[in-house]
Chain A
Amino acid sequence: MSDFFVNIRWDEIGVATWDTVLMVGGSMFFIVLLGLPLGVLLFLTGKRQLLEQNTFYAVLSFVVNVLRSIPFIILLIVMIPVTVLLVGTSLGVRGVIPPLVAAGTPFFARLVETSLREVDRGIIEATQAMGASTWQIVMGALLPEARPGIIAGITVTAITLVSYAAMAGVVGGGGLGDLAIRYGYQRFQTDVMLVTVVLLVVFVQLLQMLGDRLVLYFSRR
């Protein structure tokens, strides 16, 4: 048994796990910060919504679609100058966060838009009838009512980031995925591949479980 795990260096695996947590957690923070307002804006300016703006919506929607259609590995490289400008380096965990945010924000914004659309129009109308401003409708009614959907969106986005982050090795970002590719795949160290993949599976499972619990807690149905 110990023969099989001969290539494993647990300290390296520990560092890689922490790097993955940092990349996913750090970028998720900015994705929510940027994607939530973007999603609300997409929703409000959409057809038959409170701030309907057809041209504005079409442009915003197009930009979001473009960002979503670029493969992450390409985005990672194309963005290098911007990344350097933003965080001072294009290497390591820090260098990976801007491209992760750029890829995750439009994805998350769409999920926010969708969950806002799920909110019963009657609730918007009732809040309007109370004399609420658009801002009050968003903060007081729309976001609280869409909370379970938005939390589910955060979970889906975070899990997508885990697989994106596996490509971080290209810019020396490290993390579990990188370890699996470099040692497990390129050097045929099956044991490293196995351990890292198992850790990734556990990580994703934990995220999903946490997300599901929160969704359940906030769905008062």
Chain B
Amino acid sequence: MIEFEDVQKSYRVEGRDVPALRDINLEVRAGEVFGVIGHSGAGKSTLLRLINLIERPSSGRIRIDGDDITDSRGGELMALRRGIGMIFQHFNLLSSKTVAENVRFPMKLAGTYSRDQMQQRVDHLLDRVGLADQANKFPAQLSGGQKQRVGIARALACEPRILLCDEATSALDPQTTQSVLRLLGDINRELGLTIVLITHEMDAIRTICDRVAVLDAGEVVEQGTAAQVFLHPRHRTTQRFVFETEHIDEDELHDDFAHVPGRVLRLTFQGEATYTPMLGDIARRTGVDYSILNGRIDHIKDTPYGQITLSLIGGDTDGAEQALHGAGVSVEVLRP
């Protein structure tokens, strides 16, 4: 639905071209939540702004629903932007307007809504984001989470097909982050809205994204489903993101390995397999003993998963590994 084809973007700084994005080829599917993760300066802000042409690509094409939008200008560009909502890290609400006026603002700019329609939509949207009783307050009187909810209501005002989220939860505390992410997930399902979000927090990706691209120094280094990228990170940058979220210190982990004998494996369960008691079963059948070095059971979007690092000691180690493979568990050998 949103396609990037060989997109490059560079900025002219003191007469020299400094590349910000290189060889970007991406496809965001209709109705999905697509995450772009990267450290600050990786180019994710620029990437997001190419979709509503706040930034223009230096070369390459961008298509939405098959229409090449790369060269849109004037009225065509304004119409394109009206179909794309955007929310921001620092909310960017107008401090001089009330909550209701902020939500009404994009409809007023569009000029295609009657007074009654606008009022109806404002009421409906504020109700949907849970702020019906705050309509006449000014943004300065709201908390961060409430401001972002106003931002979301405002972004949805003109019934967009796409919602762009620019680090939308980075300025919020963990609890508020979760509730805002949940709201975005609900809206994605209810309205069939395509969401593109950029973030440096793996947790945000894990909570709502269907698919992910990892951006490093202006290049996409890895992409795939959230589960794939999160559970089997291949690129160094991705691995570091995953370790950061799980609070794993790599050096410490390898220290732990030195203290245990046997074969060290990392097992990844997904879906229903997460809840079956296969580990004990296999251990009994093959006579191996195991000690767990590290583990986590959680959800990626709606899929439960478990990831356990353990060492197998004694018994039929090869047989146990085979049995795990056979049970649909993904097995990585960290130390043979």
Contacts and interface: CB of A to CB of B under 8 A. Distances in A.
A131 B86 CA distance: 11
A52 interface: no
A144 interface: yes
A220 B77 CA distance: 32
Given A130-B105, A130-B109, A221-B140, A147 B54 contact: no
Contacts of B313: none
Contact of A145 (B79, B88, B95, B108): B95
A140 interface: yes
A184 B279 CA distance: 103
Contact of A125 (B54, B79, B96): B54
Contacts of B61: none
Contact of A123 (B80, B92, B108, B158): B92
Counting chain A CB atoms within 10 Å of each CB, which of B79, B105, B108 scores highest? B105
B147 interface: no
Interface in A121-139: 122-123, 125-133, 136
Nearest to A147: B96
A131 B54 contact: no
22 contacts: A120-B90, A120-B92, A122-B88, A122-B90, A125-B88, A126-B88, A126-B93, A128-B81, A129-B54, A129-B81, A129-B84, A129-B164, A130-B109, A131-B77, A131-B78, A131-B79, A131-B110, A140-B105, A140-B108, A218-B96, A220-B95, A220-B96
Interface residues of B, number: 28
B86 A132 contact: no
Given A130-B158, A131-B158, A140-B108, 15 more contacts: A120-B90, A122-B88, A122-B92, A123-B92, A125-B54, A128-B54, A128-B81, A129-B54, A129-B81, A130-B106, A131-B79, A131-B110, A132-B78, A144-B94, A220-B138
A133 B76 CA distance: 12
Contacts of A144: 94, 96-97
A78 B328 CA distance: 93
B270 interface: no
A120 B88 CA distance: 13
Interface size class of A (residues with CB under 8 A): 20 to 34
The 3 A-B pairs at the shortest CB distance, nearest first, are namely A131-B81, A126-B92, A220-B138
Counting chain B CB atoms within 10 Å of each CB, which of A125, A130, A218, A220 scores highest? A130
A141 B106 CA distance: 11
Interface in B100-116: 105-106, 108-110
Nearest to A148: B96
A123 to B, nearest CB: 5
B52 A140 contact: no
Contacts of A120: 90, 92
Interface of B: 52, 54, 77-82, 84, 86, 88, 90, 92-97, 105-106, 108-110, 138-140, 158, 164
B89 to A, nearest CB: 9
B52 A129 contact: yes
Contacts of B105: 127, 130, 140
Given A136-B109, A140-B105, A221-B140, A123 B94 contact: yes
Contacts of A147: 96
A136 B86 CA distance: 18
Contact of A130 (B81, B95, B140): B81
Nearest to A136: B109
Counting chain A CB atoms within 10 Å of each CB, which of B54, B106, B164 scores highest? B106
A122 B106 CA distance: 15
A132 B81 CA distance: 9
Interface in A74-95: none
A49 to B, nearest CB: 14
A154 to B, nearest CB: 17
B7 to A, nearest CB: 19
A131 B95 contact: no
Contact of B82 (A126, A131, A140): A131
A221 B95 contact: yes
A109 to B, nearest CB: 21
Counting chain A CB atoms within 10 Å of each CB, which of B81, B86, B94, B106 scores highest? B94
A125 B110 contact: no
